[in-house]
A and B are shown apart, each in its own frame.
Chain A
Amino acid sequence: MANVPADLHYTPDHEYVKGTSDPNVVVIGITDYAQDQLGDVVFVELPRKGATFGAHDVFGTIEAVKAVSELYCPLAGEVVEVNDRLDGEPALVNSDPYGNGWMIKLRLKSQADLASLLSADAYAGHIG
């Protein structure tokens, strides 16, 4: 069974949103379920720091052996940090999606947008 941590927010497109010590900044990556469905990740194309996105905008591309998928930004905001480790170690997305396999940190346009995301229970039901 896919790991769906209780304290995160989710999208139906299998991205997760994790809080940080700064209430305006969140960490974004793809879920354990998504990495399992994709299989071996070969590389991840991520935006530059400073890029801004609206909710549901494509913020990157993930190339797995079997298929390519677009990454959708769960919320509107500005990229404040990019996980450069994925450049050399894309397999971190498979081995540690919620930890070292994170993708971007986003400064939210509006914290209230978090309410639009799925809870862990709702996401678990979605992939169920």
Chain B
Amino acid sequence: MTTETNLKRTPLHDIHVALGGKIVPFAGFEMPVQYPTGITAEHKAVRERAGLFDVSHMGEFIVRGPGAIDFVNSVTTNNAAALAVGQVQYSSFLYDNGTFVDDCLVYRFADHVMLVVNASNAAKDWAHIQPKAAAFDCELTDVSDQTALLALQGPMAQQVLQPFTDATLDPIEYYHFTTGSVAGVPNVIVSRTGYTGEDGFELYFDPTHATTIWKALTADGRVTPAGLGARDSLRLEMGMALYGNDIDDTVTPLEANLGWIVKLAKGDFTGREALVRQKAGGLTRKLVGFTSAEKVFPRHGYPVFVGDTPSGTVCSGTMSPTLNIPIGTCYLPVASAAEGSKFEMEIRGKRVPATVVKMPFYKNASHR
């Protein structure tokens, strides 16, 4: 049995329990992995209609002051200075050796920046970036405990949310945000972002109002409460990286196909030199997506072989609920990583053939 005495709860904990959610320890929180609906049905609800996720466990840091952008640029890989007010970017924090501390989102407001980080890494991220802030004219605040986060995801997300908010949703572009009221709750950050590939919104707000917004949105029959299980299979169908599976402190963004969030030309940042060297020397391995014609369920940790040579383990894997085929990710030597390349994974002592395919696995998602 797991002792859950030190786990935090989101402001919606009682609602998850009342809905019959299966609560599991995740990143220091008690989180719903699924509701009685089941992971597959929740996954499909998001692809076809809309799902509502409580992701209040995520960490949020606020950076204020004239040096905020310069500071953020010095600790992240993407170019925060290129952001317009009201725009979001996917980025990452690296160690000096170029490997991941974490991936993150960077929100640019008129007078501050918000960094959104993985719950499991929030303390480590803070310890990594906070000491570096002293060199800049800015102030860093951890507002994770004062921030609730709900993700409404699915092709019907805009239709569902619009009646509840004074923000005009249609003009908000993907990876942009505004601030408005939702279900009478003021000062909600309404962000057209998500981790599912579908159109949708992430709502950041004062946790004392979490129940109000949850109840308002789930009263719409098109909205299905969805847990972390569906969130994981949805993101994997899109080939979106998960820290701890696809990326961690042993790999760099260049190896993880995330070169697009690395802007070497923007100026210095932690990890830059290592990436410049890696780029000059050439990559030896890279993250690939794969499938298999066999009836198998690839899982994190299964050994991978190219010929007879071990090549690490499966990073992420599932039976795709939308495509109904096995899908997964792993790192392969660059010479064996081209689309169509064959390799094997070992499942309970048996070698199973797999083929490298292009990601995303699911190509008809509704995000825009």
Contacts and interface: CB of A to CB of B under 8 A. Distances in A.
A68 interface: yes
Interface stretch (B34-42, B61-69, B203-211, B255-263): B34-42
A42 B22 CA distance: 18
Interface stretch (A58-66, A78-86, A102-110, A116-124): A58-66
A91 B34 CA distance: 16
Contact of B39 (A43, A63, A65, A68): A65
A39 B229 contact: yes
A68 B299 contact: yes
Interface residues of A, number: 11
Contact of B38 (A61, A63, A94): A94
B233 interface: yes
Given A65-B39, A66-B229, A42 B319 contact: yes
A40 interface: yes
Given A63-B319, A65-B319, A40 B38 contact: yes
Contacts, number: 32
25 contacts: A39-B22, A39-B39, A39-B229, A40-B38, A40-B39, A40-B40, A40-B41, A42-B40, A42-B297, A43-B295, A43-B297, A43-B319, A61-B348, A63-B297, A63-B319, A65-B40, A65-B229, A65-B233, A65-B318, A65-B319, A66-B229, A68-B297, A68-B299, A68-B348, A94-B38
Contacts of B357: none
Chain B at the A interface: SS class: mixed
Nearest to B40: A40
Contacts of B39: 39-40, 65-66
Q: Which of A61, A63, A94 has the most CB of B within 10 A?
A: A63
A39 B32 CA distance: 13
Nearest to B39: A65
Interface in A47-81: 61, 63, 65-66, 68
Contacts of A39: 22, 34, 38-39, 229
B226 interface: no
Contacts of A63: 297, 319
A3 to B, nearest CB: 14
Contacts of B299: 68
